């Protein structure tokens, strides 16, 4: 995955979040290296404060990046990512402070296994987008259902292999319900209500329905923007990467240099049939 992004020159990332993505990626890689290539002291003692810090940095940047994410079906994709960002710190804290050595080891393994969801998601995107009967690989790989199924499927596979699929699914459900409550409370805002202030704060963190949050920000920006919400949360009114990459300077997924192999795999059956017809 890292080689793919390096080959594309980092152009798959949104320019405004490039620094956060770099921090997020570095924390993820370091955490994986510390787990799979542990020192002698770490093998004996398990994770320490450094691993705890890496986990919180990775999870915090995850929440930041997913806050305005609009790819796929946001009502499914965002809670899937957010649940992982909440679930992993809980596991690493168990790995640090639980009295049972067996529980500590299982919790640490489950926390790190969740990081593999990134790889499973990309693998599923490749499998599904190249397996569709679409002739245009760019259209297939950018279909919302492909991204949604891949994100959810990757997270379920990773947590299942880590032994924590049941509590993870419960966390996803909890995040979804919280988002519904927050959206309901911010739809008819009452700035004087204490519950509204809490809801506005959670909405600022991304735990709300995108459509409701956008509506509130545009209807009453002066009220909602202070002190918990800012105008930075208003989504940009620019075309998506599928519409006009040249106007927005956002690279089109499916046309990047690293996507050439996917396009070749997606079209091999069509080429094979054409070659046989010519023969």
Q: Please compute the mean of the pLDDT values over residues 95-114 and round it to a whole number.
A: 92
- Residue scoring higher pLDDT (223 or 94): 94
Q: What is the pLDDT of residues 115-138, one digit of tens each?
A: 999 999 989 998 888 888 777 778
Q: Please compute the mean of the pLDDT values over residues 2-12 and round it to a whole number.
A: 58
Residue 32 has pLDDT above 90, yes or no: yes
What's the pLDDT at 17? 73
Measured CA to CA, the distance from residue 165 to residue 51 in angstroms comes to 22
Place 157 in a pLDDT band, splitting at 50, 70 and 90. very high
- Residue 179 and residue 209 in contact, taking contact as beta carbons nearer than 8 Å: yes
- Residue 120 and residue 154 in contact, taking contact as beta carbons nearer than 8 Å: yes
Among the listed ranges 66-70, 121-125, 223-227, which one has the minimum average pLDDT value? 223-227
Closest CA to 29 of 138, 115, 147, 123: 115
- Residue 92 and residue 52 in contact, taking contact as beta carbons nearer than 8 Å: yes
What's the pLDDT at 52? 95
Q: Please compute the mean of the pLDDT values over residues 152-173 and round it to a whole number.
A: 94
pTM to 2 decimal places: 0.79
Place 222 in a pLDDT band, splitting at 50, 70 and 90. very low
What's the pLDDT at 247? 41
- Residue scoring higher pLDDT (268 or 166): 166
Share of the chain above pLDDT 90, in %: 40
- Residue scoring higher pLDDT (235 or 2): 2
Please give, one letter per residue, the 3-state secondary structure of 27-68: HHHHHHHHHHCCCHHHHHHCCCHHHHHHHHHHHHHHHHHHCC
Whole-number average pLDDT of the chain: 78
Q: Please compute the mean of the pLDDT values over residues 112-117 and round it to a whole number.
A: 93
- Residue 161 and residue 170 in contact, taking contact as beta carbons nearer than 8 Å: no
What's the pLDDT at 228? 37
- Residue 180 and residue 210 in contact, taking contact as beta carbons nearer than 8 Å: no
What's the pLDDT at 113? 92
């Amino acid at each position: 995955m890292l080689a793919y992004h390096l080959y594309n020159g980092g152009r798959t990332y949104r320019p405004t979040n490039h620094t956060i993505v770099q921090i997020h990626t570095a924390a993820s890689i370091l955490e994986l290296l510390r787990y799979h290539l542990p020192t002698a002291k770490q093998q004996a003692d398990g994770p320490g404060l450094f691993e705890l810090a890496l986990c919180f940095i990775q999870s915090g940047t995850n929440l930041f990046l997913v806050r305005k994410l609009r790819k796929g079906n946001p009502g499914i994709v965002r809670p899937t990512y957010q649940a992982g960002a909440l679930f992993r710190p809980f596991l690493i804290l168990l790995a640090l402070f639980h009295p049972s050595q067996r529980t500590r080891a299982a919790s640490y393994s489950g926390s790190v296994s969740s990081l593999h969801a990134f790889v499973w998601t990309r693998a599923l995107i490749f499998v599904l987008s190249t397996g569709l009967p679409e002739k245009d690989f760019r259209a297939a790989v950018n279909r919302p259902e492909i991204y949604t199924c891949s994100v959810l499927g990757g997270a379920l596979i990773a947590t299942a292999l880590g032994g924590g699929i049941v509590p993870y699914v419960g966390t996803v459900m909890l995040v979804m319900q919280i988002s519904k409550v927050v959206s309901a409370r911010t739809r008819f805002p009452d700035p004087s209500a204490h519950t509204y202030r809490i809801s506005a704060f959670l909405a600022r963190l991304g735990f709300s329905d995108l459509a409701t949050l956008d509506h509130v920000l545009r209807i009453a920006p002066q009220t909602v923007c202070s002190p918990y919400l800012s105008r930075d949360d208003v989504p940009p009114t620019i075309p998506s990467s599928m519409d006009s990459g040249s106007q927005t300077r956002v690279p089109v997924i499916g046309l990047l240099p690293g996507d050439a192999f996917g396009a070749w795999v997606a079209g091999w059956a069509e080429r094979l049939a054409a070659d046989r017809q010519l023969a």
